[in-house]
Amino acid sequence: MRPTAARQGSLREHNLGLVLRTVLESDASPSRADVAAATGLTKATVSALVDRLVAGGLLAELAPAPALRAGRPAVPLAAPVGTVAALGAEVNVDYLGVRVLDLSGAVLHERLVHGDYRSSDPATVLARLAGLVDEAAAATSGTRLAGTALALPGLVDRGVGPLRLAPNLGWRDVDVVTLLAASSDVLAAHPPALANEADLAARAEAAARREDPTFVYVSGEVGIGAAMVLDGRILAGRHGWAGELGHTLVADGRPLEAVAGQDAMLRAAGMEPVAGIDALAAAADDGDEAALRAIAAAGELLGHALANVVNLLDISDVVLGGSYARLASHLREPVLAALGAHVLAAPWAPPTVDVARAASVPALDGAALTVLAGVIDDPSGWLAPEVASP
């Protein structure tokens, strides 16, 4: 595609997004003058753009700060609460979830329903999820819904799908968007963007650690997913299928999740999978030797698989998420020991193993943040016509 010159209108829309992003990503509540200094735009330009964003409900003005010198006091700017929001949803092996976030990051609604969805019927499960989405939309009816996104535990073609394969659900070639639209007017009007659960969880984690946004995120559930994050961007691969760490072959040719996933650890500890990860963690915390051995063995194998990832990609920082975060006090050391033993560059760039900082069920946040990123990238599309242009 041939490059085209930037026209005045496109430059103006770029600057509108720049101002909005600068305010939303600030650790403080900047004034118009602060935004001008941070962006290099003139104070007059920033003031005009801020006025549009405030009128459109994408920014909020706070009470003026006390003046330190003569003149008009500075008016701090912040993300508004409850004006524009996004809905993130997730289908996983043992739960369905929805969460609504607004531009400030506030959770306006959340619902998590536990169940066993192994070898389930896609239409039945997605109809249940659609009901949760409609409930969330009704609970936040005073807020403009920017869109929806859905996290799935499997291979998702980029964008709107279909879901190619979710082994632990027993789903293959499922047209998720069409099934959801048949069960929900909200999802018919706002078709969800689909993505892998680990990728969306990693997106939430990247937002939580903006000062160090390069890492390998590992999502431990019944299955094991991973996402590679480089400078805050998810390396999803050509089709969006990268990160299927659980299907890495270890231990005599068995896939990693068969020997180090949540169910595998519970069985190795002499517990039934339905007991759940909290029961395993409680047993380990109480010093139960079978539980400790099961976690340590899983950690060693997980470390072997991650060493391959680190050697291949040169990303040496690992973040444990999902059920692995719950077990981190027992899992971290065997993972770290295996990385230290098998990562070639370890003497010069020692691997690290950290615990996820994002909220619980982070894929819900990541899904909502994906939608809100579109608002921030193109804010003019969310302004009323009377404020869409100066």
To which residue do tokens 């963007």 refer?
193
pLDDT for residue 2: 43
The CA–CA distances, whole Å, from 29 to 20, 25, 112, 121 equal 12, 10, 33, 48
pLDDT tens figures, 45-55: 999 999 999 99
For residues 256-268, give the mean pLDDT: 95
Question: Measured on CA atoms in the order 313, 363, 291, 166, is the torsion positive or negative?
Answer: negative
Does residue 72 surpass a pLDDT of 80?
no
Q: How confident is the model at residue 288 (pLDDT cuts 50, 70, 90)?
A: very high
pLDDT for residue 386: 45
At 35, list the tokens.
Answer: 């935004």
Query: Is the model's pTM score more than 0.85?
Result: yes
Could you tell me which residues come within 8 angstroms of residue 225 by beta carbon, excluding any fewer than 6 positions away?
Answer: 153, 196, 197, 198, 199, 201, 218, 219, 243, 244, 245, 246
- Percent residues over pLDDT 90 in the chain: 83
Does residue 4 surpass a pLDDT of 50?
no
DSSP state of 67: P
Q: How confident is the model at residue 159 (pLDDT cuts 50, 70, 90)?
A: low
Does residue 68 surpass a pLDDT of 80?
no
The overall average pLDDT reported for the chain is 92
Does residue 109 surpass a pLDDT of 70?
yes
Strand ranges in 81-168 using DSSP code E only, listed in sequence order = 84-92, 95-102, 107-114, 144-152, 155-156, 163-166
Q: Which long-range contacts (CB under 8 A, 24 or more apart) does 181-189 make?
A: 183/126, 183/127, 183/130, 183/131, 184/130, 184/131, 184/133, 184/134, 185/134, 186/133, 186/134, 186/137, 186/145, 186/148, 187/130, 187/133, 187/148
Does residue 157 surpass a pLDDT of 80?
yes
To which residue do tokens 């190795």 refer?
268
| Side chain identity, residue 152 | L
pLDDT for residue 387: 44
Cβ-count burial of 256 within 10 angstroms (0-12 exposed, 13-18 middle, 19+ buried)?
buried
| Side chain identity, residue 33 | A
**Beta-carbon neighbour count of residue 148 at 10 Å?**
27
Does residue 390 surpass a pLDDT of 80?
no
- Cβ–Cβ under 8 Å, residues 353 and 318: yes
pLDDT tens figures, 345-366: 999 999 999 999 998 999 999 9
pLDDT tens figures, 313-327: 999 999 999 999 999
Higher pLDDT, 13 or 279: 279
Q: How confident is the model at residue 64 (pLDDT cuts 50, 70, 90)?
A: confident
| CA dist., res. 158 & res. 163, Å (int) | 9
pLDDT for residue 222: 87
Q: How confident is the model at residue 7 (pLDDT cuts 50, 70, 90)?
A: low
Q: Which helix (H) or strand (E) holds 271?
A: none
- Percent residues over pLDDT 70 in the chain: 93
Q: How confident is the model at residue 3 (pLDDT cuts 50, 70, 90)?
A: very low
| CA dist., res. 70 & res. 381, Å (int) | 39
Does residue 389 surpass a pLDDT of 50?
no
For residues 246-274, give the mean pLDDT: 93
pLDDT for residue 9: 59
| CA dist., res. 244 & res. 257, Å (int) | 10
pLDDT for residue 101: 97
Beta bridge partners of 215: 229
For residues 179-207, give the mean pLDDT: 96
Does residue 193 surpass a pLDDT of 90?
yes
The CA–CA distances, whole Å, from 259 to 224, 250, 269 equal 11, 8, 12
pLDDT for residue 6: 43
Q: How confident is the model at residue 388 (pLDDT cuts 50, 70, 90)?
A: very low
pLDDT tens figures, 133-148: 999 999 999 999 999 9
Domains in the chain, start-ordered, CATH in brackets? 8-80 (1.10.10.10), 84-199+362-377 (3.30.420.40), 210-355 (3.30.420.40)
The CA–CA distances, whole Å, from 20 to 47, 196, 267, 358 equal 12, 28, 50, 23
pLDDT for residue 251: 76
